[in-house]
Every structure is written in structure tokens, then in C-alpha cells.
Chain A
Amino acid sequence: MLTVGLLMLTLLIVFVVLTPLLVTIDPLGISAADKLLPPSWDHLLGTDELGRDQLSRLVVGGSISLRIAFAATALTAIFGVGLGMVSGQYPAIDIVVSQISDSLLIFPGVVLAIMILAALGPSELNVMIAVFVLYVPRVIRTVRAAVIEYRDADFVQAARSLGASDIRVLVLHIFPRAIGPTMVQLSLGFSSAILVEAGLSFLGLGAPPPAPTWGGMVSGAREYIRTAPWMMIAPGAIITYAVLSLNLIGDGLRDMLDPRSKSASQ
């Protein structure tokens, strides 16, 4: 599963990086004559309501969307796991971390993102920060819950009595137990990053137009779903594909690190 997921993700990245070398149509080029064309040899994925080539928009948009999603997910993973472990282990730190992360969870996701972007102004970096703030509390909670569940487990007691340090116990003995649920949160975060970015673009708070993004393309295609379904299908499919590849990587990592879940699913 891990290999399949990694392969799919690599393919996606290759697609996003290499296609611009083959398809040279300007993603921003407007042409009233070509609007809402179905797929053809000239426009492999058809055109949108302004006659822009869908394929080149998808590819260029992909690099923006993936950049945002990856960067936000990576930030979330690093801070979420770190803070989650520390706050699960040390009650004094937990009070501060949990208070802050729980209060962030109170806000409905998109409202929080809008608040952040309204304060910071629309830009790619700020979209990243918004998605990070939105998802890091969930990862903190997930990791923290696992640490609390296992910190008094027999195998942790056994490791401590061997002389294992707190860090060793947290990283080697406890964290692998949390990878499964953490990966679920992260892959959800990754897909949401794409979707939140889409929503924000729709509100004019995402990466500033006319820069194409996958989310922006999906939301733009809603009005034409009956007359020009290809506009929705291509970016929708690629978002699904990206999320699926990440989910597979998540599941694969969990199986690798927790042999029991693998034999149970077999």
C-alpha cells in the first residue's frame, strides 16, 4: 500500500512538473470563441467559461495547490506531533497547549481561515498559515490522546525500568502507536488544505486571481455542471487522486509501524 501510494504521488508530481513542457497553451489566455468547449485534440480537457485551456490551468493550478497543501501538511505534522507528544507527557505544558488548541477548535473551520486571511491579507503563504492553524489542533489532540493512552501501558513501564529516557519512550515506544490516527488526520488535513484553499479563492481570499488553483477551478465549474461537466470532472478527479494517494501512504505507514494492524486486515 505504501508503495502504491508513493507511486501515485510521484506520478502526480511528475505530471505537474513535466506537462508544462509539453503543453504550451497559456493558462491565462482568454478566448471568447473557445469558451466551454468539450475535450478535443486542441484542448485535451476542454475549456472553461472564458475559453481558457483546462489542462494547462490544471497543471499550473496543481503546482500552486500542491505547494500549499504540502507545506501546510508538513507544518501541521511537525508542530502537531511535537506539541502533542510534549503535552501528553508533561501536564504543566499540557495546560497551556491544550487551552490554546482547544480554543482554536471552537471556531468553524472556514470562519477561522477567513479571520486569519482578513488579518494577514490574501497570499499563498497566508493560505498556508490559515490551513495550518485550522488543522494543527486536531493533530495535537490525536497525538496527545495516544500518549495519554499509552504512557502508563505495561510496555512503557517496562521500557522506563530499563532506563529509557522520556524522549526515547515517546519517540520509539509511544509515537508509533499514534501514527495510524495521526496519518488519518494529516491526510484529511491535506485534502482540506486543497478544499479550504478553494473556498478561500472563491471568496477572493485565496491565491489572488487569475492564478488558477484546483479548488478555484472546482468552485468555478459549479455553475456549468450541466452544460460543461468536464470542467468539474478533471479538477475533481485530480483532487480525489491526490487525497487517495496520501491516504494510501498513511495506511501503508501505519501497517509498516504497527505489524498487528496488518495481520488483522489480512
Chain B
Amino acid sequence: MSASKAPLLSTRGLRKRYKLRGGNAVRQITAVDDVSIQLASGETLAVVGESGCGKSTLAKLITQLEIPDEGELVFDGRPVSTRSRRERLAFRRDVQIVLQDPYGSLTPHFRVHTLVAEPLRIHRLATPSKLPTRVAEILESVGLAPEIAGRFPHELSGGQRQRVSIARAIATRPRLIVCDEPVSALDVSVRSQIVNLLLDLQRELGLSYLFISHDLALVDHIADVVCVMYLGRIVEQASAAAFFAAPRHPYSRALIASSPVPDPRRRHGAPAVHGEVEVGATTSGCRFRNRCPMALAKCAETDPPLRVLAADHLVACHRADELGEPLPFAEQIR
């Protein structure tokens, strides 16, 4: 969004389809549909949405764990798909991922030392003699004592494990880290430690984050740009300040209204939206219309395009202009 800086990462019209087998029929699901995002160097782009919205698929497309069916991924000014084998390896060095589950994302039969040394070995970033010192340095930079290096993942706490995942990700000195719900599996008292670590690393190393989360309060705390996805589409995209001051899409508002606010004086009344995300249910028109409290006949006919509502604020809703000024998020949540 921040037009002033040249984007580190941008995607144009990214699309990924999967075959879904349900009973006898094979349906095609577009998990990520025409997604264009831009992420400036040193900034955090948060992708928000519920299961089935395509946010994890987007993470895989951006880290090249999956190949998009259509669209283009541009990193550091050059399209990624055309790169040579060596350049692809360089891309892997520049773009890392931290996954949600600290239990599943570390190879269980590797010791911490091996885990953290692996990226250094793959990319030949340290000679064997320097490896132990380098590993110790990296562990220290994520707040782990060097003794941890001899342990297996199952001997660590959830927070320690997530630190090891982060250590592996920063070992190659990347420029972008995709964080797929990095704290949602952690204990509440450990979450803020990991959030602080991610913030520190961003400042020290100039990292960009693509931060996938469903926790809006957290997103409001760390993001520069917010993207809301619903069934593969971006329905709203704005700077965090603009988004949280006045979310424009009915779905964004429903998400905010559904967030369990840790304040008993601000109890929600009736649920903001009814029904559930139905993957593949709508084939025409707006995908949210089945659950939308303000859907019109028009919403069933034409798919609302993502349009510019204000500077730094894109919305895909026919009626976005008619929505009254909402309560700023900060006042709803605290």
C-alpha cells in the first residue's frame, strides 16, 4: 500500500485451484482467486480471514511451496517464476516461513543444533568449523540459551519451540518472513513474548512480515497493512490505521464484532453474522452474500470488484459507500 517505497513483494492476479472430492462429484475450488498484494520492505502485511478463506494457500504460493495456476509473483523487482534453479535457491534464502504449530513444524528426530544449522548447511552460509558459534549466535538472537542446542524438540516448551522455528527462519538472513498464525497455538502468557521477539527482529533486521492471523487485536498491534480475505478473494485492503478506524466491508465488520473482547462490559449481543463459510457454494455474485445482512438482488448478480474507496483503502462491496460510519475498532475492543 505505502506507495512511497518500492514494494519488496508484490503479486498480481494470483490464482490457485484445487480439486475437491465430495462424495462422487469432483468439484474445483479456487482457494486463492485473483489476489494482488504489495508489501513494502520493513513492513508488516496482515492477512485476516477464517478457515477456507485461502490465507494459508496464499502463504504457500508466496513461499513457492505451491505453484500458482495463474498470476505473477514479483520479489525484489523480478518475477519469481522465471528464475533459474540457483535463483530459486536464493529466493528460498530471502523468503522464509514460520508455521503455526510449534509441535509439528520441527523435525522430531533432529536436535535443536541440527535444526538451526540446517539452513546454514543448505545455503552454505557457514563453514563446518564456524557452525557451532553461528548456531549459538542465532539462538541467542531469538532469546534461547546455547544449552538448548543439545535438546530435542519434544524436550522444549511451546514458546521455546516457536523460538527455534524463528531461529531457523532468520538463519539465512531473509528479507521476508511469512508468519502463518505464529502465536495462536501458544499459551497466552507466552504469546506476547513471541510477538515482542518478532517485533524486535523486524526492527533489528529490517524484516518484512506477511502475517497471517485471525486475532484482530494482535493484527491491529503489529500490522501496517491489512488484507481481509473471504473464500479466496480479498474483500478489503487498507492501511491498518484506515482499516481499524473504519472497516468498510460487511464481512470485516462482522469479524470485528465477533472477536471475543476481553472486557465483560462490552459483551456482544446477538451474533454479527449467521451461517458459515460454505466453500464452493456460491458461483456467481458476491461470495459473502449468503451471510451478509445487507445483501441486495444486485449482489447475487454481479461480483463486486475490489475498488478504491479512499486513498489506501480498497473494498469489494457494492454497498460499501452506504455503510454508516462504524465505531472505530479500538473503541469496540477496549
Q: Is A35 an interface residue (CB 8 A)?
A: no
**In the complex, are the beta carbons of B122 and A163 less than 8 A apart?**
yes
CB distance from A253 to the nearest CB of B (A): 12
CB distance from A161 to the nearest CB of B (A): 4
Q: A157-B65, A258-B108, A259-B154 are in contact. Are A162 and B96 (CB under 8 A)?
A: yes
**In the complex, are the beta carbons of A155 and B105 less than 8 A apart?**
yes
**Which of B89, B96, B109 is the one whose CB lies under 8 Å from A177?**
B109
Q: Is B289 an interface residue (CB 8 A)?
A: no
Q: A155-B104, A158-B165, A176-B109 are in contact. Are A163 and B99 (CB under 8 A)?
A: no
Q: Kindly report which residue of chain A lies nearest to residue B101, judged by CB atoms.
A: A154
Q: Kindly report which residue of chain B lies nearest to residue A155, judged by CB atoms.
A: B107
Task: Find chain B residues with CB under 8 A from A222 CB.
Answer: none
Task: Find chain B residues with CB under 8 A from A260 CB.
Answer: 108-109, 152, 154
Q: Within B16-36, which residues are at the interface with A (CB < 8 Å)?
A: none
Task: Find chain A residues with CB under 8 A from B154 CB.
Answer: 259-260, 263
Q: A161-B97, A162-B119 are in contact. Are A154 and B105 (CB under 8 A)?
A: yes
Task: Find chain A residues with CB under 8 A from B92 CB.
Answer: 161-163
Q: Is B57 an interface residue (CB 8 A)?
A: no
**In the complex, are the beta carbons of B109 and A158 less than 8 A apart?**
no
Task: Find chain A residues with CB under 8 A from B60 CB.
Answer: 157
Task: Classify the interface of chain A: helix, strand, loop or mixed.
Answer: helix
Q: A163-B119, A163-B123 are in contact. Are A158 and B168 (CB under 8 A)?
A: yes
CB distance from B79 to the nearest CB of A (A): 19
Q: Kindly report which residue of chain A lies nearest to residue B63, judged by CB atoms.
A: A161
CB distance from B34 to the nearest CB of A (A): 24
Q: Tell me, in angstroms, the Cα distance from A164 to B96 when the chains sit together.
A: 12
Which bucket holds chain B's interface residue count?
20 to 34
Q: Is B118 an interface residue (CB 8 A)?
A: yes
CB distance from A172 to the nearest CB of B (A): 8
CB distance from B65 to the nearest CB of A (A): 6
Task: Find chain B residues with CB under 8 A from A4 CB.
Answer: none
Q: Tell me, in angstroms, the Cα distance from A164 to B172 when the chains sit together.
A: 13
Q: Is A153 an interface residue (CB 8 A)?
A: yes
CB distance from B171 to the nearest CB of A (A): 8
**In the complex, are the beta carbons of B118 and A159 less than 8 A apart?**
yes
**In the complex, are the beta carbons of B107 and A162 less than 8 A apart?**
no
Task: Find chain A residues with CB under 8 A from B109 CB.
Answer: 176-177, 257-260
**In the complex, are the beta carbons of B172 and A162 less than 8 A apart?**
yes
Max count, chain A CB within 10 A of own CB: residue among B89, B92, B99, B109: B109
**In the complex, are the beta carbons of A168 and B122 less than 8 A apart?**
yes
Q: Kindly report which residue of chain A lies nearest to residue B108, judged by CB atoms.
A: A260
- The contact string, 1 if C-beta is below 8 Å from chain B, for chain A 240-266, is 000000000000000001111001000
Q: Is A67 an interface residue (CB 8 A)?
A: no
Q: Kindly report which residue of chain A lies nearest to residue B92, judged by CB atoms.
A: A163
9 A-B pairs whose Cβ atoms sit less than 8 Å apart in the complex: A154-B105, A158-B99, A161-B96, A162-B122, A162-B172, A163-B122, A168-B122, A258-B108, A260-B152
